[in-house]
Amino acid sequence: MSRRYFGTDGVRGRVGEYPITPEFALRLGYAAGRVLAGGGGEASVVMGKDTRLSGYLLESALEAGLSAAGVSVRLLGPMPTPAIAYLTRAFHASAGIVISASHNPYYDNGIKFFAGNGRKLPDAVEEEIESWLDRPLVIVGPDKLGRASRLEDAKGRYIEFCKASFPNTLSLHGLRVVVDCAHGATYQVAPSVFSELGAEVFKIACMPDGLNINEDCGATHPQSLVAAVRTHRADIGIAFDGDGDRVIMVDGDGEIVDGDELIVMIARERLEQGQALTGVVGTLMSNMAMELAIKAMGLEFVRAKVGDRYVMAELDKRGWLLGGENSGHILCLDKTSTGDAIVASLQVLARLVRKQISLREERRHLRKFPQIMINVRVKDRVDPMMNEAIAMAVGQVEADLAGRGRVLLRASGTEPLIRVMVEGEDQCQVQVHVERLAELVRSSLA
């Protein structure tokens, strides 16, 4: 069965346009409730949201639908996505619900689910929920309706969980840290986590008004963080996205440090501490310097499709614990069940404190390869590698790169575009190759 509404990260769209409407949210809450209550016994969910104004609307509609299906709800208010995954496990809830559109602008929103184990719902469960969406909404008896309550100490519980992921023998005392919360879901918890561990914290983008989430701030717009680090002469800057599942850092010089670099640091720390680590999962967009660095540690490296859902699938398949994306989605499955930006940042800080080095010094171990991408508009979304001339040209470029670079041609999933990417050690060589391949794709497929 193909899913009509659930994408790789739940149901998402522009507020007021189907399916991000109160009517659909009501039916989705009811459908999810019927599936969750189908096993018998009392079902319950925990539900949180980011700081978008539309979160109130969707929260109320989902709550009504769940209650109509006989499912009780614990309301968490604005909380990071990974916090909801943790609290779902902590309360042994049937599921967790997150109302968020992550790094998107305020006028978008979405609804995603966690299973009782704090992982994303299996495809089969999402399909079952969709199968209930077109059925009549039949309310359970008045004595069977679900109850709603607000969990007042959710913030404190999650702060303690995050702090517990940091070694209790270490402290952040003496570190000057700028924290950019993107006016999003981490604004109440992230500054407290770092300050309670001893850091001197300077907050930016921590005043949400319902409309400013991710606006020129956060992990997707780190320029404000760069400026703040320089202004405060901070040791490090940490930026989260709107729902708190991706992180980007800035060193004391104001240089941006992405997810690829952070994952390498965490892997190196795990090995030096004697922890079990067999391999690391990246994505098709992970820099080749990351791959070579991981392999130089004696670890295996595997690339998944872009998306933390696919990274998780590869980790589960191999029984590995560490992976992520250059965008800052980082999965530390030895610490938590999903991508958690605060927890991931604490793993990096633990290494810096233990080694008594700066982020600037630590990142010198990895010199990223130049990576250039050109989008070529074509008539139809097709696999460019099915074209013999293109496939031959790609082979020639790969031979020229001699194992110290990569070529990636892939069709966009949403537009008639072919993304042509070349990566290698020499910027000029990469530029020449990517332009030639892009022109060949344009002349062959446009």
Active-site amino acid positions: 102
Spatial neighbors of 349 by CB under 8 A, at least 6 apart, are: 166, 172, 175, 236
- Are 218 and 242 spatial neighbours (Cβ–Cβ below 8 Å)? yes
Spatial neighbors of 323 by CB under 8 A, at least 6 apart, are: 263, 280, 281, 282, 304, 311, 312, 314, 315, 330, 331
Block residue for tokens 């010199």: 367
Pick from 11, 153, 3, 140: nearest CA to 64: 140
- Are 441 and 390 spatial neighbours (Cβ–Cβ below 8 Å)? yes
Spatial neighbors of 163 by CB under 8 A, at least 6 apart, are: 193, 196, 197
Sequence-distant contacts of 7-12: CB under 8 A, at least 24 apart: 8/307, 8/309, 8/310, 9/102, 9/110, 9/112, 9/307, 9/309, 10/98, 10/110, 10/111, 10/112, 10/113, 11/110, 11/111, 11/112, 12/101, 12/104, 12/108, 12/109, 12/110, 12/111
Pick from 53, 15, 40, 17: nearest CA to 212: 53
- Are 67 and 137 spatial neighbours (Cβ–Cβ below 8 Å)? no
Pick from 83, 315, 404, 349: nearest CA to 238: 349
Cα 307 from Cα 352, distance rounded (Å): 28
DSSP symbol at 401: H
Cα 322 from Cα 374, distance rounded (Å): 30
Give me the sign of the Cα torsion angle 110, 116, 118, 124: negative
**DSSP secondary structure string for all residues of 51-103:** S-THHHHHHHHHHHHHHHTT-EEEEEEE--HHHHHHHHHHTT-SEEEEE--TT
User: 315 vs 262, 340, 354, 443, CA distance in Å?
Assistant: 18, 16, 27, 39
Cα 233 from Cα 283, distance rounded (Å): 34
